[in-house]
Homo-oligomer: A and B are copies of this chain.
């Protein structure tokens, strides 16, 4: 009988709880129609009930090791305390671990949603075969996480991996973090909508304007749909998206020289609209990538890139995430196994 853990994904839309065996087999996944907006105590209550019902059900399966919870926001990981989250206003400084551990009498681990998504892809997804990788989660913003030797690299204060706030346009759009031209202002769902709005306001984007005025749920997906239908203004937005992803990845490859960069999150479904520009930009901008990229006979190699190309046998893999929205569930379930 395999032992198992429980992973909890506290997304903005749903609360999801899964029981997963220690070798990565999904036993059961519960999706609760519980929005975090329903309030802290209600959410904690539903979460505890779901964990309890799963541990009760799989009691005979094997030993329950503990539960990991992926939370959006700034976490004090060692203490298991929620610090600050833009989406969870009532949770500031809330000792989530202590509260749930007392209630369920079990081991609880808290981590950031970007970190658990990366752990999930490392464990059962795109990063299964590598020990060193980074993950970029493209959603409302850009989440980032670094895995070294199979473990999350937290940095000094647990804040390593803030890829969404790398400067890609020094005098660009102002960001909530205080910087200008952060990558997530150009390569995220909210950035796509912003760029579309600006195109509509310019009065020079008829296709986007029509969609914007007729679709009450106009979103990044609407822009993507227009782009694949050939609308040049929508395509231009995803070219800009890809260009910025290329600059961002070039910076990360040059600094970290990792085996793999996994790109996930909802917006990765627009891959075919932004990835060609992203790879072209990355190859041109990173000497490390140009020297270690998988072969592409159409690519030009110039300057230092060409000179060092023959010295690296290992390849830098840039790839889509495999687990979709389940990455965070798998990763959260993986956390108790790593402590």
Chain B neighbourhood of A259, CB < 8 A: 156
The reply to whether B178 and A284 contact each other, CB–CB distance below 8 Å, is yes
**Once bound together, how far apart are the Cα atoms of A76 and B84, in whole Å?**
45
Partner of A316, one of B76, B148, B156, B170: B156
Chain B neighbourhood of A30, CB < 8 A: none
Q: Identify the closest chain B residue to A289 (Cβ).
A: B159
Chain B CB within 10 Å, residue with most, of A160, A257, A286, A305: A257
Please give me the 10 A-B residue pairs with the lowest Cβ-Cβ distance, nearest first: A155-B257, A160-B257, A162-B254, A177-B287, A178-B303, A157-B312, A179-B285, A177-B304, A159-B288, A159-B257
Chain B neighbourhood of A305, CB < 8 A: 177-178
Q: What's the minimum C-beta distance from A184 to chain B, rounded to whole angstroms?
A: 11
The reply to whether A304 and B250 contact each other, CB–CB distance below 8 Å, is no
Chain B neighbourhood of A108, CB < 8 A: none
Q: Identify the closest chain B residue to A247 (Cβ).
A: B167
**Once bound together, how far apart are the Cα atoms of A290 and B162, in whole Å?**
13
8 A Cβ contacts from A158-180 to B: 158-163, 165-170, 175-180
The reply to whether A256 and B257 contact each other, CB–CB distance below 8 Å, is no
Is A83 an interface residue when CB atoms closer than 8 A count as contact? yes
Q: Mark A262-294, 1 if CB is under 8 A from B, else 0.
A: 000000000000000000000011111011100
Is A251 an interface residue when CB atoms closer than 8 A count as contact? yes
**Once bound together, how far apart are the Cα atoms of A308 and B73, in whole Å?**
11
